[in-house]
Amino acid sequence: MITNKVESFSYDGGEVIPGETQHFKYRVSETYLDDPIRIPVSIINGTKPGPTCFLTAASHGDELNGVEVVREVVEEWDHSEIRGTIVGIPVMNVPGFLAQERYIPHSDRDLNRSFPGDPESTGAHRMAYEIFSNFIEPCDFGIDLHTSTRGRTNMFHTRANMDNEDISRLAKSFGSNIVIDGQGPEETLRREASDAGVPTITVEMGMAHRFERDLIDEALEGIRSVFAEFNIYPTEIVRNPIWRTIVQGWTDRTWIRAESGGMVEMHYNAGDLIYEGDTIATIRGPFKNEYEKVTAPATGLLIGALENPVVSPGNPICHFVEPDNDTLKVIEDIRNTDS
């Protein structure tokens, strides 16, 4: 249940009273040399009643788009009329961020498969526990920002458990065109926070190792829309996309994989509309006369696409979704108008 209240935000070692903003680094672990590993945290606490929302990014250390989104919200937006509280963590996996690696260096542990954490388990689970218990569980809802892994890119979309009324409301107010429905894997931040009573969505956008300004701006629009929906920013307007498709589980989406090894020439990009039978990509061997055509199994959208052109059999080439017929008609009309 999402609540409205005016109260201090407390964490282990500190408190942010109503009307106060704090930017600090919170200790979650330590290095081999006993130096502290600290994550940056910003807490903006309003003086008027409202919910508490967390914004998190870079649980995978090389996913940078979300870092800039959270940073701009907490440091550049005007929060003078804020209702409720914003908790912003732009970089959760600080060791991975410093090394520009997806996982926690030296352990190869995935922080986003370690929640809600355990204070007596692995280093990743201990870090996750500190983050989760101090800055996630006290919130009413949250948005966790991601990109694709290296070598691939994702179309802008949301992942959410649409069977949950509060999560569905959150996902719809964010306003992305595509929502992939599902609980998410166990031990991810989204799944564990939602199971703990903190409705959470994941936002996927773009690729690792870079800032993509258009995607960052779109995410900022989505967050502003969420803040309007939940009265954190009461003067803003909830955005309503011209079209939206909710992809139900694995039945409406699939990864298309390479059947042979070689070098890939992509003929479409993430976000493109393709038609059944279209050649999505061509895989070529070392000689020009050796090739495999990868064709679309149906008409739909590419929400993820290969960036690294080298593949072996079984490697993913693109992530493909099939919108319903009504949504497809709207997409076609928009594309025809734009062209």
Tell me, yes or no, whether 61 lies in a domain. yes
Same domain? 219 vs 265: no
> Is 273 found in the same domain as 162?
no
pLDDT reading at 329 higher than 90: no
Together in a domain, 216 and 304: no
Indicate the number of domains in the chain: 2
In the chain, where does DSSP find H-type helix? Answer: 65-76, 94-99, 123-131, 165-174, 189-195, 213-229, 325-338
| One-letter amino acid of 188 | T
What pairs with residue 211 in β-bridges?
none
Q: Which residue has the higher pLDDT, 8 or 150?
A: 8
Mean pLDDT confidence for 197-219: 97
Domain membership flag for residue 247: no
Model confidence, pTM: 0.92
Same domain, 189 and 282: no
Q: How far apart are CA 200 and CA 188, in angstroms?
A: 11
Tell me, what CATH number does 21's domain have? 3.40.630.10
> Are 219 and 317 part of one and the same domain?
no
Residue for token pair 């200790």: 27
Is residue 34 domain-shared with residue 149, that is, in the same domain?
Answer: yes
Contacts of 332-339 with CB under 8 Å at 24 or more apart are 332/273, 334/242, 334/243, 335/273
DSSP secondary structure string for all residues of 88-120: EES-S-HHHHHHT-SSBTTTTB-GGGSTT--TT
Average pLDDT score over residue span 238-243? 92
Q: Domain of 271: which CATH number?
A: 2.40.50.100
- 203 and 133 within one domain: yes
Query: How many helices (H) and strands (E) would you count in the chain?
Result: 7, 19
Helix (H), strand (E) at residue 234: none
Residues in the chain: 339
pLDDT band at 250; cut points 50, 70, 90: very low
Residues 15 and 120 placed together within one structural domain of the fold: yes
| 86, 211: one domain | yes
Boundary residue ending a domain (241, 274, 306): 241
Distance CA 251, CA 271 (A): 19
Tell me whether residue 233 is in a domain. Answer: yes
* Dihedral sign computed on CA atoms, order 128, 110, 214, 167: negative
Which residue segment(s) compose the domain that 125 sits in?
9-241
Q: Single out the residue of 143, 122, 124 nearest to residue 53, CA to CA.
A: 143
Residue 191 lies in a domain: yes
**Burial readout 10-32 (b: 16 or more C-beta within 10 A, e: otherwise):** ebeeeebebeeeeeeebebbeee
Question: Are both 72 and 118 inside the same structural domain?
Answer: yes
Q: Of the given ranges (28-32, 183-187, 250-254, 302-306), which has the lowest mean pLDDT?
A: 250-254
Mean pLDDT of 69-94: 97
Is 3 part of any domain?
Answer: no
Asked if the structure places residue 274 within a domain, the reply is: yes
Boundary residue ending a domain (219, 241, 263): 241
- Choosing from 177, 207, 241, the residue where a domain stops is 241
Q: Which pLDDT value is given to residue 339?
A: 56
Express each pLDDT in 19-50 by its tens digit.
Answer: 999 999 999 999 999 999 999 999 999 999 99
Positive or negative: CA dihedral 207, 213, 214, 217: positive
For residue 252, the model assigns a pLDDT of 54
Confidence of residue 1 (pLDDT cuts 50, 70, 90): low
Cis peptide before 313 (omega within 30 of 0): no
Task: Please check whether residue 197 lies inside any domain of the structure.
Answer: yes
Please check whether residue 4 lies inside any domain of the structure: no
* Position 223, amino acid: I
Note whether 65 and 100 are same-domain residues.
yes
Residues 202 and 235 both lie in one domain: yes
Q: Would you give the distance in Å from CA 137 to the centre of its chain? A: 18
Q: How confident is the model at residue 106 (pLDDT cuts 50, 70, 90)?
A: confident
DSSP tag of 337: H
